[in-house]
Amino acid sequence: MAKLHAYLNFDGNCEEAFTFYEKVFQTKNPGFMRYGDVPADPHMPPISDEAKNKICHTAISINGESMLMGADVIPDFGQAYVQGNNTYVMLMCDNRDEAKTLYEALSVNAKVVEMPLGETFFAELYSSFQDQFGICWMVYFGGNKDEDCESKG
C-alpha cells in the first residue's frame, strides 16, 4: 500500500517552517537542498542569485512511515505561490494525549483556528486550523466514535 506523505510549498520561509516542525515532531531534519545546489540544466531557466539560498527540497520523518516534505516556490521556474485552504495535513492520532500534544504545539501563533480541539459527532477529539506559516492542519483522534462512523456508512 502506498504511504501518504504531505508536501508543502512555501513563499521563502520553508527552512523556518521545517525548523519549527522538527521541534513539534521531535525528529531530526537530515538537511536542506537549496536551489543553488541544483546543477545547471540547459532545459531549465537559470536560477537567480536571490533564489539560490531558498529551499529546493527538505523532508522530515514523522513516525518512520510518514514524511513531511517541502520546498520554497520560486518565480525562476514559473511557479507562483498561492496560499489557500485547499490542502490540509491530516494527523490521525493513536490516543488523546498525542492529539492534545500535537494540537498545542502546532497551533502556537495560529493564523486561524477553524475548530479548536474538542469532541465532535465523528471524533473524540478533532481540530482544524491554519498554523503560523499558513499550512492547514487537522488533528484527529476517533476513539470509540470511529466505529460509530463506520456503522453509519
Q: Could you say which DSSP state residue 142 is in?
A: -
pLDDT score, position 149: 40
> Residue 8's closest CA among 75, 74, 57, 80?
57
pLDDT score, position 148: 45
Q: What is the pLDDT along the chain (153 residues), one digit of tens a residue?
A: 467 789 999 999 999 999 999 999 999 999 999 999 988 888 888 899 999 999 999 999 998 888 999 999 998 887 788 877 668 898 999 999 999 999 999 999 999 999 999 999 899 999 999 999 999 999 999 999 875 444 334
CA–CA dist 55, 15 (Å, integer): 7
pLDDT score, position 88: 87
> Residue 130's closest CA among 113, 108, 105, 115?
113
pLDDT score, position 86: 65
pLDDT score, position 5: 87
pLDDT score, position 147: 58
Q: How far is CA 28 from CA 53, 69, 70, 137, 145, in A?
A: 21, 13, 15, 21, 34
